[in-house]
Structure 1
Amino acid sequence: MPRRPVLLDFLTGVALAGLSACTSPDEDEIPVAIIADAADLSQTGVRLSDAGRMVRAATTEGLVAFDAEDRVVPALADRWIVTDDGMSYIFRLREGSDAGGGEVTGEKARDALRQTLASLKGTALALDLDGISEVRAMTGRVLEIRLSHPMPDLLDLLAQPELALLDRGRGAGEFQFRKAKGGGLLRPVPPEKRALPADPQWDGSVRSLFLKPMTSERAAKAFNDKETDIVLGGTLSDYAAGRAVSGLSQRFLRIDPAVGLFGLTVSSSDGLLGKAELREALAMAIDRDALAIDLALPGWVPTSRIIPPGVADAAAGISERWTNSDMATRRATASQRFARATKGGKLPELRIALPAGIGADVLFARLQSDFAAIGITARRVNIAGSADLRLVDNVARYNRADWFLNQFACASGRTLCSTAADLRAADARAETDPAKRAEFLSEAEAQLTLANAYIPLGNPIRWSLVRDPQPGFAINPRGYHPLSPIARRPK
């Protein structure tokens, strides 16, 4: 088990690199390293990678957007109001043109939003948005969204890059994207070409961004060699910190206090994993506290709960699982369950799908050891390969229990799900009484926990490397860093 301080073997090199900022060959073009594959820069479809979401947000616009500090700010809508009962959101659209060159109108925005909502069908995001009952165009540049039940997080959802309003597949964003050798180039679009008032201060105020998808090792070297001042897209899979981090390296490292899911989903219901009690046996055999020690990662909190306590409306009556049993007792129970199920015969080999990266190496070593303790052999496979268990590493789009429940809803296409949990979650969404809603949410989480279709491990981690100073970048709970603020030249 790796114990020495590691952050892809590059924090030591970073410490030796000094603090001077790099200089791009073209001062009007900022190189940005993104830990991703080249294909991840694609902005098509509705199931986007984190890199694809960043490109989509830069090249398109929705009604609202996120700024660097995770606040909702105007985009196509320059202002809005919410009715007192929270059942209607009315947006006043800005003056200007859409991607097709025509005037922005309520009718066009209505049609585009309806099309976007229809395209999301079958995704967890569609479930997050199912409270939208009607989208209406009002006079001129006014759009109304009516709800079937209150959605306090509607603006957070409308700011998601997937909710961009497109005209025949095109968006009227601040940048145009084109593929280039070694990555992709985002070039800023002047305001007047977006049918916005000309700004005499605009010229030279926004720089181009050259996005360089890289492996974590290559991105670290690029940062160390001063080829870039910023690395985005780091996850726990490519990060395993040691017990101590040098003060100089710590200055470059930015860890977002993200909330979401980090664990294993059961992707095959064949054989023994078709039994909920055996799936629970796997979950109880994992020593999460030992995993936290192995990772030695600041901000990583182990959990056995699907909805962690930090979520705004997490049920207060649900605690961590198996708190009354030590690891030896838990593993003895798990072993007995598998022995009974196989009648003392051969135990299955489990295929665990994980991405590449030192953090994932540490995770697999822990899982392999823990499962071996109950007699089960674990084999690591590619994240895209056929597997019995697959890593889930998603940051919540909004900090409420609904998001977590929707990730495992039967309508989202999960291999294993709980119809009972779905029913209670639907009751909670429709309930206006806070006490009754909390009761339904607690029941939904309890039913989902009993299904044991997901094995929670802890919170997701998002990290970046940023050389000081870097205007336009800020750590935030969403772990999402829009590119537009980074492109702005400091005043």
Structure 2
Amino acid sequence: MTKLFTTAAAVALMAGTALAQQDTITVGMQLEPPNLDPTGGAAAAIDEVVYANIFEGLTRFGPDGSIQPALASEWEVSEDGTVYTFTLRDGVSFHDGTAMDAEDVVFSLNRARAEDSTNAQKALFAGITEVEAVDPLTVRVTLSEPNGNFPFNMAWGDAVIVAEETIEQAATTPIGTGPFTFTEWVQGDHVTISRNENYWGEAPALATATFKFIADGNAAFAAMMAGDIDVFPVFPAPELVSQFEADPRFTVIEGSTEGETILAMNNAVAPLDDVKVREAISHAINRQEIIDGAMFGYGTPIGTHFAPHNPDYVDLTETSNYDPEAAKALLAEAGAEGLSLRLMLPPPTYARRGGEIIAAQLREVGIETEITNLEWAQWLEQVFTGKDFDLTIVSHTEPADINIYARPDYYFQYDNADFQALIADLAVESDPEARAAMNKEAQETIANDFVNAYLFQLAKVGVANANIEGLWENAPTQANDLTDVRWTE
């Protein structure tokens, strides 16, 4: 009798565990975020945890890249295009129970645009001259000039709404308005979030979600196979994806991203301040060899900093086509033969593997490289902030971000007054045809200036348990939005 009771109890316990697992999920990520405040850090991994899960903005990106209402249910634009009036949703609370209202929007936008702001995308807020709380549920934003892209700007993770009372703790214990609340962060291992039972919108199906950080591709494969990870939205070992395709327990999700992967060059330091040297480096690069060798065929070659799926994209790959003899001639013409350059590589697979391939390609034209592998925090400090590098490889996953080339203080330090004026004109232009022409001119300008060596558009290749639905196929922004994710059985 005791044995029968024990067996029955075990079955019941197993059944209960199986049911419980249907509202929990473990999400694999290659990189751990340096902090959890999307308004105070540049790392994509921050948004991959908190965007649309913990924090929300006035608007948001949908899975198809569309701009959708979020904390603002609607907005109106003045006839001259300089005043946006946002109507906020009623009954929205932060996770600590305090109300979210117009004053929080005023604080968030003023903080982001302040002179001492540490926001990584401060340019999104540069045109704001005034933010007013008309009443608790109405915010008026006045711009210095028309900006048809303003709702798009407000959808970025850098523009989420935060509370003045809790912003100081956002880096480690974030408090937002989203469908999930922060539970814990075990640094070096995982972040766990839990369903917000007081969420203003439709409650998510998931009760808890854990973001598990696994940098090594083989470890990620083992964790998926063992069921320790339920989904890896961007699987770090593309060479192993075919094994998941052959296994009915898994679904392979292949889509596109906004990630322009580039060999960035420090335009402000010699000899890279010479366009002939930058052109030589660009012609030394065999893109397809990098895509095949580092990404196992996943990726689309690009010749400028623009996503190929964008209707305004111009294929400029021939401008910097693979031509090692031309590269050698340009180096000789520039008097820059026998170069040795520092190549700083962050952790992602595309950078580490791609860096080895690029080093070999540069060696063929007479350029030696000193490779230094950096952890993500080191890369952010030394390369992105400190600008202490010659070459680096990174994927820029922010949407429609060619405007970074209009920021001479940005890490690759490209300073072109005509380009800056073009981007300024683009920011205020609302006519679609005129905007398309400006986007094309911008792409051609940076391609012809060989600002960076443009490699490939990062593919989004994910692996998931076959019983999970609601995951994003594409990545219009850097996010693992779990709002609509659920188990089918």
TM range (shorter): 0.7 to 0.9
CA 1:24–1:374: 2 relative to 1, 3 Å:
farther
Alignment correspondent of 2:180:
175
- For residues 128-277 of structure 1, the aligned pairs below 5 Å read 128-168=124-164, 169=167, 170-181=175-186, 182-191=189-198, 205-215=205-215, 216-234=217-235, 238-241=236-239, 247-248=245-246, 252-267=251-266, 269-277=268-276
- For residues 355-434 of structure 1, the aligned pairs below 5 Å read 355-356=346-347, 358-383=349-374, 384=379, 387-398=389-400, 403-407=401-405, 409-412=407-410, 414-431=412-429
| Secondary structure at 1:144 match in 2 | strand
Confirm or deny: 8 A CA contact 2:83 2:141 kept in the other structure.
yes
Distance 1:66 1:310 in 2: 16
Distance 1:239 1:151 in 2: 41
Q: How much does 1:143 deviate?
A: 1.7
CA 1:487–1:255: 2 relative to 1, 3 Å:
closer
Alignment correspondent of 1:51:
45
Mind listing any 5+ residue stretches in structure 2 that lack a counterpart? 1-16, 168-174, 383-387
Distance 1:308 1:146 in 2: 31
CA 1:240–1:417: 2 relative to 1, 3 Å:
farther
Alignment correspondent of 1:280:
279
Confirm or deny: 8 A CA contact 1:62 1:164 kept in the other structure.
yes
Confirm or deny: 8 A CA contact 2:192 2:208 kept in the other structure.
yes
> Normalization by structure 2: what TM-score?
0.78
The one-character-per-residue Cα deviations of 1:344-403 (angstroms, maximum 9, x if unpaired) are xx61222222234554454234312321221122232114265310112012424xxxx2
Distance 1:232 1:256 in 2: 10
Tell me whether 1:338 sits opposite 2:331 in the alignment: yes
Confirm or deny: 8 A CA contact 1:31 1:227 kept in the other structure.
yes
Residue among 462, 467, 470 paired with 1:469: 467
Q: How much does 1:73 deviate?
A: 4.0
Q: How much does 1:223 deviate?
A: 0.8
| Secondary structure at 2:271 match in 1 | helix
Amino acid at match of 1:53: D
| Secondary structure at 2:303 match in 1 | coil
CA 1:289–1:31: 2 relative to 1, 3 Å:
closer
| Secondary structure at 1:460 match in 2 | strand
Distance 2:121 2:413 in 1: 17
| Sequence identity percentage | 19
Distance 1:269 1:121 in 2: 24
Number of matched pairs: 447
Confirm or deny: 8 A CA contact 1:156 1:397 kept in the other structure.
no
| Secondary structure at 1:257 match in 2 | strand
CA 1:438–1:65: 2 relative to 1, 3 Å:
closer
CA 1:306–1:28: 2 relative to 1, 3 Å:
closer
The one-character-per-residue Cα deviations of 1:203-229 (angstroms, maximum 9, x if unpaired) are x94411122111233222111101121
CA 1:129–1:111: 2 relative to 1, 3 Å:
closer
CA 1:206–1:301: 2 relative to 1, 3 Å:
closer
Q: How much does 1:45 deviate?
A: 4.9
Q: How much does 1:432 deviate?
A: 5.3
Q: Which moved more, 1:207-216 or 1:143-152?
A: 143-152
Distance 1:469 1:122 in 2: 41
The CA RMSD measured in Å over matched residues stands at: 3.6
Amino acid at match of 1:62: G
Tell me whether 1:62 sits opposite 2:57 in the alignment: yes
Amino acid at match of 2:271: L
CA 1:380–1:247: 2 relative to 1, 3 Å:
same
CA 1:377–1:432: 2 relative to 1, 3 Å:
same
Tell me whether 1:35 sits opposite 2:30 in the alignment: yes
The one-character-per-residue Cα deviations of 1:395-451 (angstroms, maximum 9, x if unpaired) are 2424xxxx2132452154543332231122223334456666555545444443343
CA 1:54–1:454: 2 relative to 1, 3 Å:
same
> Normalization by structure 1: what TM-score?
0.77
Amino acid at match of 1:265: A
Confirm or deny: 8 A CA contact 1:30 1:209 kept in the other structure.
yes
The one-character-per-residue Cα deviations of 1:243-277 (angstroms, maximum 9, x if unpaired) are 97774259632222123421111136433223111
The one-character-per-residue Cα deviations of 1:440-490 (angstroms, maximum 9, x if unpaired) are 545444443343331111112333211112133121241544443256566
